[in-house]
Amino acid sequence: MKSSILIIYTGGTIGMKQDPVEGTLKPFDFRQILEEVPELGKFALRVDSYTFDPLIDSSDVEPGLWIALARLIQERYDRYDGFVVLHGTDTMAYSAATLSFMLGDLAKPVIFTGSQLPIGTPRTDGKENLISAVEIAAAKDAEGHAMVPEVAICFGSVLLRGNRATKMSSEAFDAFDSPDCPPLAVAGINIRYNRTLIRKPSSWDLPLRVQDRLDTRVSILRLHPGITPQVARNIACGPETRAVILETYGAGNAPSKPWLTDIIREADRMGKVLVNVSQCKKGTVNMDLYATGRALKDAGVVSGFDATTEAALGKLFALMGLSDDNAWVKKQFQEDLRGEISK
Ligand code: ASP
């Protein structure tokens, strides 16, 4: 039987085409996907599409879109071998990361892709990205199981774990990277899969579990020289905030000024979940290395290890949506749940 793939179009540059009359970029009708990308017809696949309404620039992505996406995938899970999500590049890493925490016991590929140039322009990277994403979403191993049963981003020449990826370039065709995790696959003449790295579900036959309750009461405190106590306190101790991501220096370090430690302690006393993620794109948080990191640990901050900010955010949204118990959230946050950290 032919494999079948569902392409889900949420918006973004990839689905745009020049309107011949007005000369402006407009989303094209994805029901005509085979007309636009006839190469897809060469695969022995059934390719269906689903278009979100309204289509959005991904700068407008909200948790509601993630919930709708997760539910759509759950609803059609048994009908398709894999899913390709077309998404604007700007927030693709946030969406892929959060979806990875929302989808449990995933045994089928959910491959995000997009493009830097619209699919209707001559030098577009959209066609290549889409064709590779579809091929990867349909790929099976010798036992007939999905080759990549993960939420991933296929972009340029690489397939990256969704919760490890970050947008690195607003111009290059290789726009994404996952600095702390090698690619799950590299697309050259052949698509070469990194089979030892790709995660497998505990069982191939479990129904998809969807965690569609998200608690977004998270603030991000990015440290920088010159930060004032007022600014830091507003971000860390606001009554609406349940968790704070501290974006720290290097291996998880912060200025040693006593007022900063006092603010962190105050946030901790308020019961907030405080997590430490480094501003460095590569390497991990280790709060035992320097006194400035140690002070954070002693004040109640837990390590985000080598998580990206996008992954830390999605992980907190999903964990906090599951439970009101902040001690449990803190504990779970330090676990490797979906391959998002190296421990
Ligand atoms: N602003 C667009 C978006 O993220 C850019 C893109 O699609 O690449 O939707």
For the Cβ of 88 lying below 6 angstroms from any atom of ligand 1, the answer is: yes
Protein residue with its CA nearest to atom 8 in ligand 1: 89
Helix (H, G, I), strand (E, B) or coil at 84: strand
Least confident of 35-39, 134-138, 198-202, 226-230: 35-39
249: which DSSP letter? Answer: B
Q: pLDDT grade, residue 335 (50/70/90)?
A: very high
For 7, 35, 119, 251, 332, the CA distances from 50, given in Å and listed in that order, are 6, 16, 17, 43, 34
**Residue ranges in 156-272 assigned as alpha helix (H):** 229-237, 258-269
Distance from the alpha carbon of residue 114 to the mean position of ligand 1, in angstroms? 8
Choose which residue among 13, 59, 95 to substitute to test ligand 1 binding: the one with the highest number of ligand atoms within 8 A of its C-beta: 13
Give the residue numbers marked as catalytic: 13
Instruction: Tell me the CATH number for domain 218-333.
Output: 3.40.50.40
Percent of the chain scored above 70 by pLDDT?
Answer: 100
Task: Please state the atom number of ligand 1 nearest to the C-alpha of residue 11.
Answer: 9
Predicted model pTM: 0.96
Measure the CA–CA gap between 31 and 138, rounded to whole angstroms: 19
* Range from 27-41, 81-95, 152-166, 292-306 carrying the lowest mean pLDDT: 27-41
pLDDT of residue 2: 84
Residues 103, 337 contacting (CB under 8 angstroms)? no
Q: How would you class 76 by CB atoms within 10 Å of its CB: exposed for 0-12, middle for 13-18, buried for 19 or more?
A: middle
DSSP result, 123-176: T-SHHHHHHHHHHHHH-B-TTS-BS--SEEEEETTEEEEGGG-EE--SS-SS-E
**Closest ligand 1 atom, residue 91 Cα:** 4
Distance, CA of 180 to CA of 46 (rounded, Å): 35
- Residue 100 dihedral angles phi and psi, to the nearest 5°: -60, -30
The count of C-alpha atoms lying within 13 angstroms of the C-alpha of 27, restricted to the half-sphere facing its C-beta, is 17
Largest separation between any pair of C-alpha atoms in the chain: 66
- From the CB of 13, is ligand 1 less than 6 Å away? yes
Asked if residue 129 has pLDDT above 80, the reply is: yes
Can you list the alpha helix ranges (DSSP code H) found in 270-302? 291-298
The alpha carbon of 167 and the centre of ligand 1 are apart by a number of angstroms equal to: 11
| Per-residue confidence (pLDDT) for residue 106, from 0 to 100 | 98
pLDDT in tens, 49-77: 999 999 999 999 999 999 999 999 999 99
Which ligand 1 atom minimizes the distance to the CA of 58? 9
Of residues 12, 1, 16, 341, the one with CA closest to residue 181: 341
Centre of ligand 1 to C-alpha 72, Å, is 22
Distance, CA of 43 to CA of 138 (rounded, Å): 10
The correct CATH number of 3-210 out of 3.40.50.300, 3.20.20.70, 1.10.645.10, 3.40.50.1170 is 3.40.50.1170
Q: How many angstroms separate the CA atoms of 179 and 165, rounded?
A: 8
Per-residue pLDDT reduced to its tens digit, 200-251:
999 999 999 999 999 999 999 999 999 999 999 999 999 999 999 999 999 9
Phi, psi of 212 (to 5 degrees): -110, 25
Distance CA 8, CA 184 (A): 22
Choose one of 17, 26, 59, 173 to mutate for the ligand 1 pocket test, by most ligand atoms within 8 angstroms of C-beta: 59
Do 3-210 and 218-333 have matching folds? yes
With a 6 Å cutoff on the Cβ, whether 58 touches ligand 1 is yes
Atom of ligand 1 nearest to the CA of 90: 4
pLDDT at 20 over 90: no
In the block, which residue shows the tokens 């901790």? 268
Give yes or no for a contact between 278 and 252, defined as CB atoms under 8 angstroms apart: yes
User: Residue ranges of the domains in the chain?
Assistant: 3-210, 218-333
